[in-house]
Amino acid sequence: MPESILIVDGTAVAYRAFYAVRGLSTRDGRPTNALFGFIRMLRQLETQWHPERMVVAFDGGSPADRLEKCPDYKAQRAPMPDDLRSQLPLLNEYLEAAGIPMIRIDHQEADDVMATLAARAARDGAVVRLATSDKDLMQLVDERIRIVPPTKTDVEMDPGAVEAKTGVRPEQIVDWLALIGDSADNIPGVNGIGPKTATRLIGRFGSLTACFDRAQEIESAGLREKLRAGRATAELNVELMTLNRDVPGVPSWSEIPPPAPDPERLRAFFEKYELHRFAAEPAAPRAAPPQSPPPSSSGQLSLF
């Protein structure tokens, strides 16, 4: 049986948990809502998919090359709320107690780290599940790499599901997104082209390049003009939206041990932050401990 691997978009899950759970804090007033939601989602994912290996990837900032190409990349995003930022060390503390490896690399986005890890694992024959709601990661989906939305643990997106959702195949996702843009990353699309038109164009011509090269075949003069005017924008978007599958500094899978929880440390953690519900719940089944020793401290498997 191929090895089962789960890669979690830690930054996205933390944000989602923060806004999904409200008004939770310790008796002395320390916010724990994001922590509670984060643990709940991770446990649900573990219970559903029973990964033999698991890693949580966090954003380390935007890569310099994307910012050079597009200075406004993600510029519209509001600063992280203080109450969420104050809980980030708690997430780190939980993952350490739970024995779940985590990766944060300076000036690298979690998406690219996840893409690198997934590509390597798939090449080695593993079945990879990406716990994320980011549509950029649909470009990675193939027969070995799937997407599992963090809040819908019974959903698994394979190539057919990606096509059913978007109208294009995973290998066409970047071209499709290049036409419509991504407001979450402050990437404008081609003016006047929405998802349905983009799906129609990619479906007819097969690729973004072919859309432009064969634009004279399009019956609508208005659409031909939109493509002509937006070509430079779309071509830049392809560069911005194509995930890096070879991020420097990402450890190899041989350096990433299977989850190895410390029951006593977890019990003390739940007591400290008054998360009694989790202390009473059984943890998800775990893989056997690695035969090789864990990697030495290099800064690669750390959060902050």
pLDDT for the residue 294: 36
Nearest to 74 by CA among 35, 111, 21, 116: 111
pLDDT for the residue 183: 86
pLDDT for the residue 241: 94
Pair of tokens at residue 111: 């998406």
Nearest to 253 by CA among 111, 124, 112: 124
CATH number assigned to the domain covering 4-158+243-280: 3.40.50.1010
Report DSSP state, residue 171: G
Q: What are the helix (H) ranges across 152-298?
A: 159-166, 173-180, 195-205, 208-213, 221-241, 263-272, 276-280
CATH number assigned to the domain covering 170-241: 1.10.150.20
Secondary structure of residue 253 in the 3-state scheme: helix
The one-letter code for the residue type at 270 is F
* Angle of CA points 201, 204, 205, to nearest 5°: 85
Euclidean distance between the first and the last CA atom of the chain, given in angstroms as a whole number: 35
User: Where in the chain is CATH 1.10.150.20?
Assistant: 170-241
User: Where in the chain is CATH 3.40.50.1010?
Assistant: 4-158+243-280
pLDDT for the residue 68: 79
Kindly give the confidence (pLDDT) of every residue in the chain, 304 residues in length, as a single tens digit, with 9 standing for 90 and above.
889 999 999 999 999 999 999 989 999 999 999 999 999 999 999 999 999 999 999 999 878 788 778 877 787 788 899 999 999 999 999 999 999 999 999 999 999 999 999 999 999 999 999 999 999 999 999 999 999 998 876 789 999 999 999 999 999 999 999 999 998 888 889 999 999 999 999 999 999 999 999 999 999 999 999 999 999 999 999 999 999 999 999 998 988 999 999 999 999 999 999 999 998 875 655 544 333 333 333 334 543 3
pLDDT for the residue 234: 96
pLDDT for the residue 75: 78
